[in-house]
Amino acid sequence: MKVLVIWPPHIPSYFNAGHHTPLYMTAGHLRRQPAVEQVDVRDTGVLNTHWKAVGDLLYQGRYDVIAMMNDFDAVDGFERFTAYARELSPQSRLITFGRLSSMNPGFFQRYGLDAIVQSGDYEPGVAHYIASLAGGTSGTALPGVAVREGDRWIAPSREGDSLPADQWTLPDVREIPYDHYDRLYARDEDKFCGIPFRRELVVPAARGCPIGCEFCEVHEIFGLRERRLSVDDTVAYIETSMRALPFEYVAFYAPTFTLDKRWVRELCGRFLDGPVSPRWKCATTVHHVDKDLVELMGRAGCVRISVGLETLEPDGHGALPRAKRVHEERFRELAAQCARAGIELNAFVIVGLPGTGAEGAGRTRELVGEVGARFRPTMYTRLHDMTPTMTPLEISRYNRQLIADPGHAPDDGLYDFLFGTETRVTSVYERIPVASSARSEE
């Protein structure tokens, strides 16, 4: 069976290379399935292609299955892509997977797809569907996957599967269009999470999160119990990838990187001992770091810690889990600890959080700047408010940049945090040596 795994063309409202790793991990997982002979993978959602090239791929590929990745606001090209696929590759079965279909699966029934992964990890969902096609049982219920049979949809047989970390297939870096990823990170004023002027290797280190923020999808999709790569597998992947391409730092893609402090200490020890000793960054919470750990991380090559600060306004703490209720004194302590360790502190702040407003967000931004941290805002978004009957334009408002309620007056100052002039840009790239191999040689 011949399979295409693709992120359909769209203009991204936000870019985080970590969000794109499921594309390559799903492709790698499918290559291990007995019914699959060939898997091609394309990320056409990073401004690196055009519709003629997509048409060529569909027409010439003769794929049995096309697995389409989706995301919260990346649906503006979905209707056009499915039309191209039905027109140019009519023999192909179409299945979609991703964050939006996991949170709002009914939305995708309008596109005339053949299957929708709606729970569990993406890789086994797509694999279950392909196995059913190969076995001639495509009309039966599958774990975590809704299947179309004529004009009706067959509900999943049960919740989707969660893969143990040792069964993940990590991305093959040779398949990823890094030159386009680099360009999307070049302007730090955009407040994306990558470090400009340096190439990042994303290491998908963990899935799942026990904190359970109501504005976050991670625990809804991947569970409250964390699954994490072993330190051995993590170091081996970094070493293999850095031999393949000239990366300059590592971005650990994990919801709460320091949740397992013993694991972090072991990893830091490996970096300190070498021979793999990269510069790196991670994301976690203020609650899950302490002075000793920050100091060790700095010595082991960490150059940026991002924390889910959300707000420093006490009136906004009611909308947060206890672990996220950060007070000013503790944040100042962390900022000082990071400064001593040579680590840039990056503060994720939610604008419009219940109990707060533009004035409160302004106070949080002022304090973040005062302690020398980087301010990275997103708009408060209630993902559970999405419905299957929404239009793609209505869905696009759930991109964590726009106010999701279109009836909300946009003149209350909230948009200034997202789209106003940014004067403080990072200089952390100066702490990261340029790779010895020239990128032009790739």
- Over residues 32-72, the pLDDT tens digits come to 999 999 999 999 999 899 999 999 999 999 999 999 999 98
pLDDT digits (tens, 9 = 90+) for 154-189: 999 999 999 999 999 999 999 999 999 999 999 999
The burial class, CB within 10 Å (0-12 / 13-18 / 19+), for 411 is exposed
pLDDT digits (tens, 9 = 90+) for 331-348: 999 999 999 999 999 999
pLDDT at position 259:
97
CB 291 within 8 A of CB 275: no
Percent of all residues in the chain with a pLDDT value above 70, rounded to a whole number: 98
pLDDT at position 423:
86
Query: Quick check: 139 pLDDT over 90?
Result: no
Query: Quick check: 438 pLDDT over 50?
Result: no
pLDDT at position 407:
73
> In whole angstroms, what separates CA 375 from the centre of its chain?
19
CA distance 92 to 88: 9
CB 340 within 8 A of CB 295: yes
pLDDT at position 440:
43
CB 231 within 8 A of CB 270: yes
pLDDT at position 137:
87
User: pLDDT-based confidence at 437, cuts 50/70/90?
Assistant: low
CA atoms within 13 A of residue 343's CA, in its CB half-sphere: 29
CATH 3.40.50.2300 corresponds to the domain 2-154:
yes
CA distance 107 to 389: 6
pLDDT digits (tens, 9 = 90+) for 287-330: 999 999 999 999 999 999 999 999 999 999 998 999 999 999 99
Domain boundaries, the chain: 2-154, 185-380+411-441
pTM greater than 0.85 (yes/no): yes
Q: Which residues pair with 70 in a beta bridge?
A: 98
Closest by Cα among 201, 273, 195, 194 to 234: 201
Q: Which CATH architecture has domain 185-380+411-441?
A: Alpha-Beta Barrel (3.20)
pLDDT at position 404:
87
